Chains A and B, each alone.
Chain A
Amino acid sequence: MTSNKRMIFAMTLLAALCLAGISAAEAADFDRTVIPRVKYGGGGDWYTGPTSMPNLLKQASERLHLPTQTENIAVSVSDPELFRYPMLYLTGHGQIRFSDFEINTLLNYLDNGGFLWVNDSYGIDRFIRREVRRIYPDREFELLPSDHAIFKMVYDFPEGLPKIHEHDGKPPAAYALFDKGRMKILYTYESDIGDGLEDAGIHKVDTPEIREKAMQMALNLLAYVMMQ
């Protein structure tokens, strides 16, 4: 046997052993959680912060033992696959616009157990309020008090929503839209948790402590959504 053949044989054997090892250790892996970002119209940067959700899902897997799929996935509201995802993430800096069809689909999605997390990266406040009013014309956002359960889930936030990224010097606020006794939309305003979830170094001002706070709050949000 030549050295090349010996090499090929060894690699084949190694591969076979690896496969056998995987087969033996095979375990159930079917309820992987994915949180896609919403691809909306209107011109806003729906794609901002691409590492936020993968980082959150990775930490959810490590800290909460939640099986996740750590990919940055985007989904359009008109996509039938929308109903595969129990939670949607919407962020950006500008204009947001949904078509009538998308509004109806989003309403159907939220009424059937879905959840929408809107993260204000900066400048979407006016637009998201307008679009949400189109979904639920008879409902208003409610400011969550600091003793709300969402701040006492995996981690305690006695002061309420943490401030992650400074924009206009306003205090952070968590607005929720409740319908039929269930929180359907959470709008984190003047906090920018999404920024804090991104890879280290992307936002120089986000210290490790700040980024940990953002991760903890996002995990709280995830846990709350999963329980309702």
Chain B
Amino acid sequence: MYSLLRLFGYNLSPIRDIESSALALAWGWAGLILLLLAMVPLSWWVYRCEGKNISDRMRRQLLAVRVVWVILLAFLMCGPVLVVSGLVPQRNRLAVIVDTSRSMSIKHKDLSRLDQVKTLFDGGFISQLESKTGIYPEVFSFADNVSPVSRQEVEQFNFSPEGNQTDISNAVRNVVGNLGEGSLLGIIMISDGVSTTGDNPAMALANMRTPVHFIAPGQEGESADMALHLTRPPAQGYLNSSVRVRGEVSLHRVATSSIPVTVLRNGEFFTSATADFASGTEKAGFAFNIPCEEEGSFRFELAIPKLENELTGENNQTGFLLKVVRERLNIMIVSGRLSWETKFIGNALLTDPNARTVHWARLRENRWVCARNLSPEAAVNSPNLSEDLKVADVLILHAADYEMLRPAEEEIVRRIEAGTLGLLLLPSTKSFSELGYQGTRIENLLPVLTSSETWRGTPGNLVLPAAETPYNFLRLVDDPIQNVEFFATLPKFEGIYEYAGLKPGSEVLINSTVRSSSDMLPFMIRARAGLGNVVLISGGPLWPAGFRLVPTDRGFAPYSALMVNMCKWLANRREDAQVSIELASSRGYVGQGNNVKVWVMNSKNELQANAQVSLTITDERDGSTSLTCIETSDKGCYETAFVPAFRGLHRLEAEARYQGRELGRAKSEILIEMSTAEFDEPVVKSSLMAQLASDTGGVFATVDQAMKIIGAIDAEPGQKLESKSIDLRDSWLLLIILLLLPMVEWYLRRIRGLS
């Protein structure tokens, strides 16, 4: 068939042997039959009988020629396509990928992991691969990027361990994409598997039909190691508050019950913490607080002791930069009547020098009083809530009936959902139903349904959830267990509202000792409304407990601190400046992207849209880069990203302009370091690599056993089944046949004397 098709001039390349074929018609077989049904009568009509006697033989010949021509014409008109499949020989390919991440510089007995790879290459590993397969393997290095390495570079062993990550799945994907067409005999990955980033390699390699072999330099467990990690170091602290820093120490082949962590601030001893290890565990957390007592930038460095002959000392220290800024905290209180509750909260809030309060209270019908920073003003007939609401970060409602809030309801809901306003609801002598909240948009924000509200005048204590709370404002005492005990010792409240249940997504922040049929009634409940937070306190009073504990001098009494810190959390704390820079972390890594947000407000302290914001980044070598910030979906928030090329302190300066006028500038700093991720868990990931090799049909070996991989490679040239579609009309021979058939018919008729 192959020869026949070639005879007709069809191009079958690269198929050499046809394994199967299938004929298809563009019009379908039904089209062919219909065409024949139309053409046969037509032919019959055209070729009328002339009445002359000719032999039967001649009649049959003429008929055959005509029938063949008609069928052939009809067949070609239907668009015949022949799909042929056949095996195509493939060019063999083989890839060797060498890990050049920083962890490959870890030394084992004076030889780094990469030195061990050099020894392997010097021992003729590549040339043996070449002799086994007949091809020179294509060599790549991988860490941050995957790069091809030339034969000359391989021979000179031009590899250096400078990469900051080990992304196995990305490396394999890239190499397969780079190799192009051919029969891939296998991929040999030389890596310590430290520290695997990117997609889960087990998932990424699961569908590989090519064996991936792993060679692991370094001997697992050869040396002991200790590593210090900071989960997410803080970037910004607020004046007169504290910042909690959490970290973790991990051990490898070290038996100890605790490891001291030394903290330096600007190069001087600041504090120390201890990571206590439970029996049989290799990881332990530690935490410490940084009181923010003065504005400015502070460089913190943390270190754990270094062991003799430790695997690496690079993971024994870390650092971050903390910027302490003055915070904006505008609290607006709206009360339907006077109460000691709001008096207590106001006094507690003003213990924070950054807080500003405005309190509107209804004294009687058409008589309102406003106190700014607890300084009462002369009463007025009607309140102007909207102006104060514009600049409020937190709204506290106490016995405020719905009619009071109705004019500002839309603004309140919009701002809470946008995350620019927090809402705190205090209990009052009137239930929410009596206050008219039922069925309103404000009720939708609450974590409970107000229709089920009943008052229980049962005294109780506060109870924190058993698991350590993720909310800093609920962590008044450092130790989580002591913190839970501390809340239980806070003075009792006198009663609590009971609700049928919490709305989906609501969360109990503080429980009470008052029980319903089985569960404890929640004292403080949180609901999420869009990007904002709503907290409802269902029991009271706050003030007899709190008033006794109002701070004295500069100290923060816990109950007041709870209220102040909660308001700060509700406020989505922001720096008190017209232009402020927000960094996800004060620490970045060379070669890794950093997002920078710039918040812009106008002179009325309102978030400013459509501003032109630029960011200039200057590194320690005085090289500067200017970037334009793009406006985000959050009003007043502009964002950009930069990838630092050098380590060291980088100064950031943002400038915001609106309609050509400068709105303000902000400065910040970020500390760029080399990533320590490669040293966090420096032990060779032998089991992971063995699993990956097994999943793909490959072999795992240490450097010493690398030759067994050469034996495992199947060097047979591969073949690939390919299919090709041939348009049967595309043949000169067929065209000639089609033209010849009428001519033959004409000739036969002429020699017999027919017309």
Contacts and interface: CB of A to CB of B under 8 A. Distances in A.
Contacts of A64: 337-338, 363-364
A66 B379 contact: no
A226 B543 CA distance: 12
Interface stretch (B492-500, B606-614, B679-687): B492-500
A220 to B, nearest CB: 9
A28 B455 contact: yes
A86 B348 CA distance: 14
B369 A227 contact: yes
B541 A31 contact: yes
Nearest to B434: A27
Given A31-B540, A64-B364, A113-B550, A149 B339 contact: no
A178 to B, nearest CB: 10
Nearest to A86: B340
A28 B369 contact: no
A28 B540 contact: yes
A156 B656 CA distance: 48
A224 interface: yes
Contacts of A26: 454-455, 457
Of A83, A182, A227, A228, the most chain B CB neighbours within 10 A belong to: A227
A153 B364 contact: no
A154 B363 contact: yes
Nearest to A33: B340
Interface residues of A, number: 33
Contacts of B457: 26, 28-30
Nearest to B348: A113
A228 B454 CA distance: 31
Interface string A144-160: 00010110111000000
Interface in A3-54: 26-31, 33
Contacts, number: 117
Contact of A223 (B338, B342, B494): B338
A123 interface: no
Contact of B547 (A67, A84, A149): A84
Interface residues of B, number: 46
A152 B368 CA distance: 10
Nearest to A31: B541
Given A86-B543, A181-B375, A224-B376, A29 B364 contact: no
A113 B546 CA distance: 11
Main DSSP-derived SS at the B contact region: mixed
Nearest to A154: B363
A111 B497 CA distance: 33
B352 interface: no
Nearest to A65: B337
Given A31-B429, A181-B375, A84 B337 contact: no
A181 B350 CA distance: 12
A112 B549 CA distance: 9
A222 B338 CA distance: 9
B363 A223 contact: yes
Given A31-B541, A112-B550, A227-B374, A154 B429 contact: no
B447 interface: no
Contacts of A33: 340
Contacts of A154: 363-364, 367, 379
Contacts of B377: 149
A24 to B, nearest CB: 10
B339 A227 contact: no
A27 B431 contact: yes
Contacts of A150: 376
Contact of B376 (A31, A86, A112, A153): A153
A223 B495 contact: no
A154 B367 CA distance: 7
Given A30-B540, A64-B338, A64-B363, A149 B378 contact: yes
A224 B359 CA distance: 12
Interface in B522-567: 540-541, 543-544, 547-548, 550-552
B374 A28 contact: no
A84 B339 contact: no
B163 interface: no
B369 A153 contact: yes
Given A29-B495, A64-B337, A108-B552, A86 B343 contact: yes
Given A27-B431, A149-B376, A224-B376, A113 B343 contact: yes
19 contacts: A27-B429, A27-B430, A28-B428, A29-B429, A30-B493, A30-B541, A31-B429, A65-B336, A66-B337, A66-B339, A86-B340, A86-B344, A112-B347, A113-B547, A152-B379, A181-B375, A226-B361, A227-B374, A228-B376
